[in-house]
Amino acid sequence: MAGGLMRAAAIAVVFAAWCLPGFAQAPPASGSRFVVVLDAAHGGDDTGGHSSDWLEKNFTLALSVRLRSLLAARGMQVVTTRESDATLDGERRDEIANHANAQACVSLHGTLTGTGVHLFASSFAPAAQARFVPWKTAQAAWVMRSVAFEGVVNSALQQASLPVTVGRTALPVVDSMTCPAIAVEVSPDKNAAGTPADSLNDPGYQARVANALAAALVEWRSEAAHLEESAGASQP
Ligand SMILES: [Zn+2]
């Protein structure tokens, strides 16, 4: 009976940790499952960038839907922050992402300016992982892995002949994520004819970006598996 109560108490503590506003809990070791969170930025009342024939919120959702099916076909478990034109605040996105105990979190954006793909990781200095970390700076404990993940995505996009820029910046949604996390901002294809909106609306270009991101996640999964193997091998 005491065991049962202690178990119940432990569950209550975990539950309380998740529900405590202002705190995020570090997830447990991942085992062999590989979970990806896709966050289609903006949505509902928040259109994001827009022109007469392009809305960022629609673009990010279309890209999320494409990527989700590519990743599912590669055996990954995918959690999305939205599947429709819903209004979602940053805190809700982070709740969804942090509940997933994911090996990769990708926040998707689009912009009519520039060309190619811009990658951003949090600008936080690395911090040690702790059981409880302040919600607003939760990403600090993950930022080394986020930068490594950003590097893998950079290589995959370059292999797909997509121009890439890589940066670090303050991103409220990413900064509260407890996973290797980056923001991916897609600009028009530099070789496309027509307007920037034509390029971003082009299903062929969307598919090319989604395929390159899927290849990056396949590579990141195999790197994560190798890291776990070597961690296991070093155990006495
Ligand atoms: Zn955006």
Q: DSSP per residue over 7-39, as a string?
A: HHHHHHHHHHHHHSTTEEEPPPP-TT--EEEEE
Quick one: average pLDDT of 16-28?
A: 43
CA of 129 to the centre of ligand 1 (A): 29
Model pLDDT for residues 114-138, shown as the tens digit of each residue = 999 999 999 998 988 777 778 899 9
CA of 86 to the centre of ligand 1 (A): 15
Q: How far is CA 220 from CA 35, 139, 170, 226, 227, in A?
A: 11, 18, 23, 10, 10
CA of 110 to the centre of ligand 1 (A): 6
CA of 173 to the centre of ligand 1 (A): 11
Is residue 219 scored above 80 in pLDDT?
A: yes
Residue of 76, 88, 86 whose CA lies nearest to 32: 76
CA of 185 to the centre of ligand 1 (A): 7
Q: Cα separation of 87 and 27, whole Å?
A: 27
Is residue 229 scored above 90 in pLDDT?
A: no
Quick one: average pLDDT of 169-192?
A: 95
Helices 203-233 and 56-73 sit at what angle, rounded to 10 degrees? 50
* Contact in structure between 182 and 92 (CB atoms under 8 Å): no
CA of 141 to the centre of ligand 1 (A): 24
Q: Cα separation of 87 and 108, whole Å?
A: 15
CA of 155 to the centre of ligand 1 (A): 23
CA of 131 to the centre of ligand 1 (A): 31
Is residue 18 scored above 90 in pLDDT?
A: no
* Contact in structure between 173 and 41 (CB atoms under 8 Å): yes
* pLDDT given at position 33: 86
Residue of 9, 1, 46, 4 whose CA lies nearest to 173: 46
CA of 236 to the centre of ligand 1 (A): 47
Structure tokens belonging to residue 211: 């395929």
Burial 168-178 (b: 16+ CB within 10 A, else e): eeebebbbbbb
Is residue 6 scored above 50 in pLDDT?
A: no
CA of 79 to the centre of ligand 1 (A): 19
CA of 40 to the centre of ligand 1 (A): 9
Beta bridge partners of 23: 134
Instruction: Go through the domains of the chain in sequence order and give each one's CATH number.
Output: 34-228 (3.40.630.40)
How many residues are recorded in the chain?
236
* pLDDT given at position 132: 76
CA of 11 to the centre of ligand 1 (A): 37
CA of 114 to the centre of ligand 1 (A): 14
Model pLDDT for residues 55-99, shown as the tens digit of each residue = 999 999 999 999 999 999 999 999 999 999 999 999 999 999 999
CA of 1 to the centre of ligand 1 (A): 52
